[in-house]
Amino acid sequence: MILSFAKIRAILKKELIQLKRDRATAAMVIFIPLLQLLLFGYAINNDPKHLTTVVLSRDNGIFARNFIVGLKNSEYFRVTGEIKSDEEGRKLLQQGNVQFVVTIPDSFSRNLMRRRNPSVLIEADAADPVTAAGAVGAAGEILASALARDLKGAPAFLRIDNPNPANVIIHKLYNPEGFTNYNIIPGLTGVLLMLTGIMVTALSLTRERERGTMENMLSMPVKPIEVMLGKIIPYILIGYVQAAIIVAAAEFLFDIPMSGGWFLPAVALLIFIICNLALGLAVSTIAKNQMQSIQMTMFIFLPSLMLSGFMFPFCGMPSWAQTIGNCIPMTYFMRIVRGIMLKGSNFAEMSQNFLALLLFMCVATGITIKLYRKTLD
């Protein structure tokens, strides 16, 4: 069998010209690897630092104050303020506004001087065990270092018999055993719904355009919103079926607790599914063929997968990456699902995430209606 290099060269030239004309494919070839490089190189961090922390100090002694200073100077804790009660700290943890609540008990300094081995309580939001692991491990060292600076001179006798005159007690809330599947499986609901929702609807209009059935639809006396509803409603039902399978598996196979009720997750699920389907329809109005639809879907899916807090701790990302993540609907959906399933959060505690998700749904739906064209180009 003799190969003709001239024919191979001619076909190669044709493919290169076709790739040059297909700007969407050429852009994806360049930008998807570049996007992955930037995300993994700069945004992804499995050892998050400067985690939001509040302090409840019932002691105003020198040892308590220096321990707070040690927390502020550490790279793991970012002390944002002091609180007045245990209820306030639990509420902040429940809403996900802080990762740690540090409680210094009354008479901490006096008990330390009396060799009573006092303890400092640190309550951690351990719904994501990876986020809390590094800081929890460093807390004891921070306390020991802070006391070592003070237990010199006359107070040095406190360390003669006991090198650690004070202890740190860690309470890991919402996931005390540190099971990673408690964090991953609820988020997996959002990942699967986003991938299938956007991709299926992105292919719907482009498939009809390629098969020539788009002309029949455009000749019908229907409005853009009617077309959207007709295409979205079946996939909403499919999305609920997918979510039911995941939730059933999470409860019966992995014993993941369902601390909250079912009504709020069902509402969040509806809003999130509509967001994804609207994004998919917007992609289908821009893409010229099914290949472009798949490429655009992956361009949306990859940042959502990496910057929403599903794979990597959200609080460990730089501020610019968190800003992008806050523009992704899956970020808010996973906060809602994890908050309700693991923390038993109610609507008031998740209201900000619900409002953000609802706003994104309205914006995505409006853009899709605007992009929808009544005539073929």
What is the CATH number for 59? Answer: 3.40.1710.10
| Residue range of the domain that includes 104 | 51-173
Q: How far is 357 from 375, CA to CA, in rounded Å?
A: 32
Q: Residue 39 pLDDT more than 70?
A: no
Q: Domain boundary residue among 121, 149, 173?
A: 173
Q: Are residues 366 and 290 in the same domain?
A: yes
Strand partners, 100: 53, 124
State residue 103's pLDDT score.
92
Q: Are residues 103 and 195 in the same domain?
A: no
Q: Domain boundary residue among 142, 173, 204?
A: 173
Mean pLDDT, the chain, whole residue set:
80
Q: Are residues 224 and 250 in the same domain?
A: yes
Kindly state whether residue 271 falls inside one of the protein's structural domains: yes
Q: Are residues 149 and 285 in the same domain?
A: no
Kindly state whether residue 355 falls inside one of the protein's structural domains: yes
pLDDT band at 292 (very low <50, low <70, confident <90, very high): confident
Q: Residue 192 pLDDT more than 90?
A: no
Phi-psi region of 212 (alpha: psi -120 to 50; beta: other; left: phi over 0): left
Q: Are residues 339 and 196 in the same domain?
A: yes
- Look at residues 135, 139, 126, 132 and name the one whose alpha carbon lies nearest to residue 167: 139
Q: Are residues 165 and 202 in the same domain?
A: no
Sheet holding 100-104, edge to edge: 77-82, 51-57, 100-104, 119-125, 167-173
Q: Domain boundary residue among 173, 197, 214?
A: 173
Q: Residue 160 pLDDT more than 50?
A: no
Measured N-to-C along each axis, helices 347-371 and 263-286 cross at an angle, to the nearest 10 degrees, of: 20
- Structure token digits, residue 183: 């964090």
Q: Are residues 242 and 265 in the same domain?
A: yes
Kindly state whether residue 1 falls inside one of the protein's structural domains: no
Q: Are residues 188 and 322 in the same domain?
A: yes
Q: What is the pTM of this model?
A: 0.77
Q: Are residues 141 and 187 in the same domain?
A: no
CB 170 within 8 A of CB 284: no
Q: Are residues 169 and 295 in the same domain?
A: no
- Look at residues 169, 217, 206, 195 and name the one whose alpha carbon lies nearest to residue 304: 195
Number of compact structural domains in the chain: 2
Q: Residue 355 pLDDT more than 90?
A: yes
Q: Are residues 243 and 136 in the same domain?
A: no
Kindly state whether residue 15 falls inside one of the protein's structural domains: no
Q: Residue 359 pLDDT more than 90?
A: yes
